[in-house]
Amino acid sequence: MNRFDEWYEGRTGLTLGVQEVVFSKQSPFQLVEVLHTDSWGHVLTLDGLVMLSEQDEFVYHEMLTHPALCAHPKPSQLCVIGGGDGGTIRECCKHEDVESIDWVEIDEVVIEASKACFPGLGVFDDPRASLYIEDGIKFVERQSAKYDVILIDGSDPIGPAEGLFGDDFVQACAKALKPGGIVVSQSESPWVKTFHPNMKTLYHALSSHVGNVSPYLCSIPLYPTGTWSMMMASNEVDPQSSYAFDSAEQFCESHPELKYFSADVFRASQALPPFVAALFQSSAS
Ligand code: SPD
């Protein structure tokens, strides 16, 4: 392979020059590959879709984690669904209030590839995190009023991750949250029409089962179109409050290694261009 293409709408896509396939294994769920690319270092793909690159992964992991963990007054008990590369766990572990993380990854091969090919990227040995290799949907269905924050670090809504965008799963997350808890999910690109139905379903499910939904945006060059969305929902916590921004300011002061998240970026990420806001004003599909 000397080039990799990810097609996201017909013949539109992303192309990367590939120097070497450094890992390739078909798991029971998907084809897990790590490619060494010309410009982005190692890149992890699942069934031919980019999950992360060494060079831009910090955006996704910082933005999935810190908005909710700064907005919540005491994020002690967490649940992370997916994220077998360990990047989200790495960011969660930076928060002193975190006491325990139930981490549920369906595919052991993603963990194997990440440990072998991205040394130092993920955190796999923090005593606060307990790893469960199982279907995150079934795991969450068994929980009740247990978590302050649930982070959904799934892949795209095709194949094993499709259920993570569905009404039943969001309802199960709502039941698994403590009062005042927060759910955050990655939620695709507003530019890619193929994913609009999933984005709308997720938004409306979060809104009816959890509470107020705040979609926000960030820039991830190797994801389709480079503009990426995430959704945060809570029935009590307001991510636009001065508490949330002050807490982000303080957190960033003690974490100068952060490369994307800041209090200003947090605030700005919630400003939605009208075409994005309009996606969520129409009915569920
Ligand atoms: N189009 C890619 C969406 C992938 C979201 N999950 C990435 C996992 C990184 N921890």
Reply yes or no on whether 102 is catalytic. Answer: no
Cβ < 6 Å from ligand 1: which residues?
49-52, 60, 83, 85, 87-88, 153, 155-156, 186, 223
**Residue 284 pLDDT > 70, yes or no?**
no
Residue whose CB lies within 8 A of the most ligand 1 atoms, among 6, 53, 61, 186, for a mutation test: 186
Average pLDDT, the chain: 96
| Structure tokens, 127 | 């005593």
**pTM reported for the whole predicted model:** 0.97
Share of residues in the chain with pLDDT > 70 (%): 98
The amino acid present at 189, given as its one-letter code, is S
Contact 216, 276 (CB under 8 A): no
3-state secondary structure the chain: CCEEEEEEECCEEEEEEEEEEEEEEECCCCEEEEEEECCCCEEEEECCEEEEECCCHHHHHHHHHHHHHHHCCCCCEEEEEECCCCHHHHHHCCCCCCCEEEEEECCHHHHHHHHHHCCCCCCCCCCCEEEEECCHHHHHHCCCCCEEEEEEECCCCCHHHHHHHCHHHHHHHHHHEEEEEEEEEECCCCCCHHHHHHHHHHHHHHHHHCCEEEEEEEECCCCCCCEEEEEEEECCCCCCCHHHHHHHHHHHHCCCCCCCCCHHHHHHHCCCCHHHHHHCCCCCC
pLDDT tens digit string along 210-263?
A: 999 999 999 999 999 999 999 999 999 999 999 999 999 999 999 999 999 999
| pLDDT at residue 99 is higher than 60 | yes
Ligand 1, atom 2, lies closest to the CA of: 51
To the nearest 10°, report the CA torsion of 223, 102, 205, 224: 0
Distance of CA 189 to the CA centre of its chain: 13
CA 81, 72, 167: angle at the middle one, nearest 5? 40
Q: What percent of the chain has pLDDT over 90?
A: 95
Supply angle C-alpha 145, 132, 136, rounded to 5: 60
On whether the CB atoms of residues 6 and 13 are closer than 8 A, the answer is yes
DSSP-assigned beta bridge partners for residue 32: 25, 46
User: Which pLDDT band holds residue 140 (cuts at 50, 70, 90)?
Assistant: very high
Measured from the Cα of 61, ligand 1's closest atom is 10
pLDDT of 283 strictly over 80: no
56, 85, 102, 153: the active-site residue: 153
Separation of alpha carbons 167 and 174, rounded Å: 11
Statement: residue 281 has pLDDT above 90: no
Which of the four pLDDT bands, split at 50, 70 and 90, describes residue 160?
confident
Tell me which residue has its CA closest to atom 10 in ligand 1. Answer: 83
CATH, domain range 57-283: 3.40.50.150
d(CA 17, CA 22): 14
CATH architecture of 3-53: Roll (2.30)
Q: Give tens-digit pLDDT for 183-205.
A: 999 999 999 999 999 999 999 99
Whether 159 has a pLDDT exceeding 90, the answer reads no
What's the half-sphere exposure (Cβ side, CA atoms, 13 Å) at 97? 17
Pocket test for ligand 1, best of 155, 184, 198, 218 (most atoms within 8 A of CB): 155
What does the block give as tokens for 202? 């997720």
Would you kindly state where each structural domain of the chain is located, as residue ranges? 3-53, 57-283
pLDDT computed for residue 285 by the predictor: 52
Specify whether the CB–CB gap between 10 and 51 falls below 8 A: no
Burial pattern 225-250, b for ≥16 Cβ within 10 A else e, equals bebbbbbbbbeebebeeeebbebbee
pLDDT exceeds 60 at position 273: yes
Q: Is the dihedral angle over the CA atoms 147, 121, 188, 50 positive or is it negative?
A: negative
What's the pLDDT score for residue 158? 85
Give residue-wise pLDDT tens across range 21-66: 999 999 999 999 999 999 999 999 999 999 999 999 999 999 999 9
Show the CA angle centred on residue 216, arms to residues 190 and 264, nearest 5°.
Answer: 135
